[in-house]
Amino acid sequence: MSESAIYRPHPEEAANAMLQSESAGVNSEEVWAGLRADRFELVSRGDFVSGILYRPIEIAESTQNDPASPGVPLLLIQHALGGSNLDKSLACAAAWAKRGLAVASIDLPLHGRRASPKLSDRLIDGCRRIASGEELDLDTGALVVEFARQSTSDLIRTLDALSAIDGVDANRIGYMGFGLGAIVGSYLLAHDPRPCAAVFVLRADSLADKRGPDELDAVTYLEKAGIWADGIGEARRLLFVAPEGPVKSTEENLDALFKAAPEPKELHRFAPETPDLPKQTLQRIEDFLSQALKF
């Protein structure tokens, strides 16, 4: 993995995620019932990264009793701007986990358990100002760039740590990101060959009028993401999910993102009447992931 403007790893020990089982109340949504929830924490560039891992209870228990049991695929799914690893939007993956998929998510820098009273609001404001084409002051600009660097390292080291867990098939790794999670997902794919499939759920914040400087632009990194998945023998597959919209600038940005992505790739559009993804769209994502990750 070569370094870049947003990937500058620190020399540190191999990433390790110590799992700590959570009670049933870790997530108030009933959709996660029947799944084992494990909190984990790892170190990335000297920062503590908090996350959660969901697995079917019977799979988690069988792995403990028999580490040689067949591994399940892993889906790393990331929240939008201002969200967390317990974001309600991530609940769509609960049904997939019950089919035999390990689902994990981390708090991106300055989000969730990693939030800072001093810096989180500034980061969110800076991301939104970039999207609207405004210039940033030097301190905010540096904060946004550091967020991108930290996020890239966090995602890579999370895959390092979770791939080493008994019962996880390191050759079947997928990624799914909402909004900001889709943008940082492009950073991951440009620097790590392991995800063999990725879903980018794009909303207004990730299809805004401006894409920002080249070192933060998802297009820059999607152009570098044409890597063959390690150990799979098949080309990495990408699915873009976006609302239909009449705004010319957002359509132009979606077109730029899609064109930059390597083949094979697909685009699914949905009507933006509600804040939640329609059932048809969720089914399309599930079909895509089940085919790519074989679960």
Which is more confidently placed, 252 or 146?
146
DSSP letters spanning 193-256: S-EEEEEEE--GGGS-S----GGG-HHHHHTT---BPTTT-SB-EEEEEEE----HHHHHHHHH
Residues 6+ apart with CB under 8 A from 217: 211
Residue pair 98/59 in contact by the 8 Å Cβ criterion? no
Confidence check: pLDDT of 261 > 70: yes
Helix (H, G, I), strand (E, B) or coil at 29: coil
pLDDT digits (tens, 9 = 90+) for 112-143: 999 999 999 999 999 999 888 888 999 999 99
Helix (H, G, I), strand (E, B) or coil at 290: helix
pLDDT digits (tens, 9 = 90+) for 72-92: 999 999 999 999 999 988 999
pLDDT digits (tens, 9 = 90+) for 22-46: 754 455 467 888 899 999 999 999 9
Residue pair 199/239 in contact by the 8 Å Cβ criterion? yes
Amino acid making up residue 88: K
pLDDT digits (tens, 9 = 90+) for 151-162: 999 999 999 999
Confidence check: pLDDT of 233 > 80: no
pLDDT of residue 191: 94
pLDDT of residue 46: 93
Confidence check: pLDDT of 175 > 50: yes
pLDDT of residue 2: 73
Radius of gyration, alpha carbons of the chain: 18
User: How far is the first Cα of the chain from the last one, in angstroms, to the nearest whole number?
Assistant: 28
pLDDT digits (tens, 9 = 90+) for 282-291: 999 999 999 9
* 103 closest CA partner among 160, 38, 166: 38
Partners of 174 in the beta sheet?
A: 75, 197
Which is more confidently placed, 108 or 66?
108
Confidence check: pLDDT of 185 > 60: yes
Q: How large is the average pLDDT for residues 206-217?
A: 76
Domains detected in the chain:
20-293 (3.40.50.1820)
Residue pair 280/184 in contact by the 8 Å Cβ criterion? no
Neighbours of 58 (CB within 10 A): 11
260: Cα within 13 Å, side-chain hemisphere: 18
Neighbours of 20 (CB within 10 A): 11
Span of 99-113, 178-192, 229-243 with lowest mean pLDDT: 229-243
Confidence check: pLDDT of 61 > 70: no
DSSP letters spanning 17-46: ---EEPPGGGS--GGGTTEEEEEEEEEETT
Q: How large is the average pLDDT for residues 220-234?
A: 70
pLDDT of residue 220: 92
The kind and range of the H/E element at 20 are strand 20-21
